[in-house]
Amino acid sequence: MSNHPANRIQDLQYFGEFGGVNPSISDSSTYTFLSAKTMFDTFEGNADGCYLYSRHSSPSNLYLGEALAAMEGTETANVTATGMGAIVPALLQLCKAGEHIVSSRTIYGGTYAFLKNFAPRFQISTSFVDITKLDTVEAAITSNTKVLYCESVSNPLLEVADIKALSTLAKKHGLQLLVDNTFSPLSISPASLGADVVLHSLTKFINGSSDTMGGVMCGTQDFINELRNVNDGASMLLGASMDSLRAASILKNLRTLHIRIKQHSKNALFLAEKFEQDGLKTVYPGLPSHPSHELFKNMMNNEYGFGGMLTIDVGSLDKANELMELMQERNLGYLAVSLGFYKTLFSAPGSSTSSEIPEEEQQEMGLSDGLIRFSIGLDNDIERTYRMMKECMKEVGVL
């Protein structure tokens, strides 16, 4: 097996039912059995290759899952209806009442809100820490801790997690290391660095066309079997299964991910360098000024670059809003949350995707009002884009 993530996707071979070059779509919610005994065995989890009911699994979902497992280099994977539909069941499968999670404090607002406000209903508590400080991470671990949780590149601050070092910590304390790799598919392969479970919101770069939601948990066959167990599997019982039609469409988009990521990264690096030279407070892991630039370089699969996400701080929310509205008016991108689209997307996370995080905590983690998060698009002529963006920045008085 190739140890290159895009080659592993390419090396898979499927044919459709009638020799089609795309696998046939399993457009059924339920499946027939020739014998009642096989149906019983399937319920018991003892009839490999048989399908039961599409909340459990479907051929289309398995194809997509296998392609994503190949990408992440894990034994297998389970696709879900949304990214949160992967994150929440993965955490609930691993933690029960009285247990504890140590999580990075800079994570997607929805994940933060789940851990802070919802998981306590199940008596699962979370300590939020600065994930870049390994001493602080270790100090937060208690005898009840089961999971260490982080994003490879965090939303929205673009902090980089030292996955190898975190994995060493996790192993030392008998924890599972869960890594959300939504911001850095292909660029970083968390499982090869020691992560136990790799999560994605497929809604973002992996699908890449902002037309669907999706999620995945990639891990061992045993863990995925547990998640799908009809009696106590969190994925099976919480019900966030992906629809087969969507699995088929995401699989088709996945095939161009390597080309898209290279272009997102190339464009983002170009803009980040220019913005920084212009004196804007710019954060991008590809800039030597990023505190974890060297760490990212050590972890990355070189050819995919540092990803498509960057932030600038323009000082105030009013200025950020003015600039974003003008950039949208000039068709440089859309004022929208989410990421990984062909067009540039921008939003002010403090008042949108991270608004679940209380203001004083936002300040403590360095999430300022004037921060604009960019998901840089696939623009063909990024120099032209830069010139037009600079014009907007001058007009609103940011430059």
- For ligand PLP, the binding residues (CB under 6 A) are 82-84, 108, 110-111, 151, 155, 180, 182-183, 201, 203, 213, 215, 353
CB of 155 to ligand PLP, least distance (A): 4
Query: Crossing angle, helix 317-329 and helix 382-395, to 10 degrees?
Result: 130
The residue written with tokens 């879900």 in the block is 80
Whether the upstream peptide bond of residue 89 has omega within 30° of 0, thus cis, is: no
Give Cβ neighbours of residue 370 (< 8 Å, ≥ 6 apart).
313, 314, 315, 316, 317, 319, 320, 348
CB of 399 to ligand PLP, least distance (A): 28
CB of 230 to ligand PLP, least distance (A): 24
**Spatial separation of the C-alpha atoms in residues 360 and 338, rounded to whole Å:** 24
- In the complex with ligand PLP, the residue whose CB is nearer, 42 or 111, is 111
CB of 109 to ligand PLP, least distance (A): 8
- In the complex with ligand PLP, the residue whose CB is nearer, 183 or 284, is 183
CB of 339 to ligand PLP, least distance (A): 7
Amino acid at 278: D
- In the complex with ligand PLP, the residue whose CB is nearer, 42 or 154, is 154
The residue whose Cβ lies closest to ligand PLP is: 83
- In the complex with ligand PLP, the residue whose CB is nearer, 182 or 362, is 182
CB of 181 to ligand PLP, least distance (A): 9
- In the complex with ligand PLP, the residue whose CB is nearer, 176 or 385, is 176
Q: Tell me phi and psi for residue 176, to 5 degrees.
A: -95, 130
- In the complex with ligand PLP, the residue whose CB is nearer, 61 or 155, is 155
